[in-house]
């Protein structure tokens, strides 16, 4: 392809300068040619775009020059469409030959060898004596033989395989997303439960604190509702049992005292007169 690149450069310069002299009114075409010769391809592209839009008579030349400028910026894909435009509006065999030749070069870079073969073939139809085009045509046919295009069955098989892989990747992604969602929901429930337990614990602590405070207040109170002394640390049943025991003890003592009184009473013997 080094031979191709050399052919492109020489062809561009000779073709554009011949146009300049015949179309000296197109200043943008002239400036674009100067920029292209100085390897200022971006500036050349700008001028050639203006020339393309203004110079309707030489639209094929403008598209061809524009395609070359874009091609030199390593954008063969975009350049390809400019060469196609040049082919469509070309009026002479020379214009068609050059446009088809460079179109073939862009297709070779894209490894579209069948398209390149057709492009070089069309270029030779417009200029059969061009040795560079014949060389590129032979090279494209060799590449096509080494890399035959896939038939419809193989293309369909590759397409089905690609779709199968896409479906598999989609299912795996959905599965992963669902797993992440379940994990998040589980974490959220855990956080909610921990919050409820924490709130309940705080309520229990608050309630216990209130009960302890009340018990302390009741313990500090020295009298009951009737103003009687309130024993500390004893419940009602204990107090009743204690009172009963005291009453029983007092009763036993009283019974003993009464019994002694009966024993010591004086006798009343009658006296004889």
Tokens 């191709």 -> residue? 4
DSSP code string of 211-263: HHHHHHHHHH--B-TTS-B--TT--HHHHHHHHHHHHHHHHHHHHHHHHHHHH
What CA–CA distances, in Å, run from 148 to 114, 117, 140, 156? 9, 13, 11, 16
257/14 Cα distance (integer angstroms): 157
Cβ contacts of residue 231 below 8 Å, gap of 6+? 239
**Greater model confidence, 112 or 44:** 112
> What pLDDT, in 10s, does the model give residues 215-256?
666 555 555 556 555 555 556 777 788 888 878 878 878 777
Tokens 């398209």 -> residue? 115
246/83 Cα distance (integer angstroms): 128
Alpha helices in 23-130 (DSSP H): 27-37, 41-54, 59-71, 76-89, 93-109, 113-126
Q: What is the dihedral of CA 127, 5, 2, 38, to 10 degrees?
A: 140
pLDDT computed for residue 273 by the predictor: 36
145/159 Cα distance (integer angstroms): 23
92/201 Cα distance (integer angstroms): 95
- Look at the pTM and tell me if it is higher than 0.85: no
pLDDT computed for residue 267 by the predictor: 46
């Amino acid at each position: 392809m080094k031979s191709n690149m050399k052919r492109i450069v020489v062809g561009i310069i000779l073709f554009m300068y011949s146009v300049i002299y015949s179309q000296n009114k197109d200043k943008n075409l002239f400036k674009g040619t100067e920029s292209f010769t100085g390897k200022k391809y971006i500036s050349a592209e700008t001028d050639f775009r203006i020339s393309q839009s203004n110079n309707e008579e030489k639209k094929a030349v403008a598209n061809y020059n524009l395609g070359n400028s874009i091609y030199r910026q390593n954008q063969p894909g975009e350049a390809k469409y400019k060469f196609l435009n040049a082919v469509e509006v070309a009026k002479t065999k020379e214009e068609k030959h050059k446009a088809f030749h460079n179109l073939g070069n862009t297709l070779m870079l894209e490894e579209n060898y069948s398209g390149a073969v057709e492009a070089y073939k069309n270029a030779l139809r417009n200029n059969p004596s061009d040795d560079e085009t014949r060389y590129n045509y032979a090279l494209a046919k060799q590449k096509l033989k080494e890399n035959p295009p896939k038939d419809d069955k193989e293309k369909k098989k590759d397409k089905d395989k690609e779709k199968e892989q896409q479906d598999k990747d989609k299912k795996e992604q959905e599965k992963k997303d669902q797993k992440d969602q379940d994990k998040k929901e589980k974490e959220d429930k855990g956080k909610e439960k921990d919050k409820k337990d924490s709130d309940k614990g705080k309520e229990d602590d608050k309630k216990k604190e209130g009960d302890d405070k009340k018990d302390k207040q009741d313990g500090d109170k020295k009298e009951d509702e009737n103003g009687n002394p309130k024993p500390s640390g004893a419940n009602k049943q204990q107090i009743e049992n204690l009172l009963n025991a005291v009453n029983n003890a007092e009763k036993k003592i009283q019974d003993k005292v009464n019994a002694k009184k009966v024993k010591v009473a004086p006798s009343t013997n009658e006296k004889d007169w």
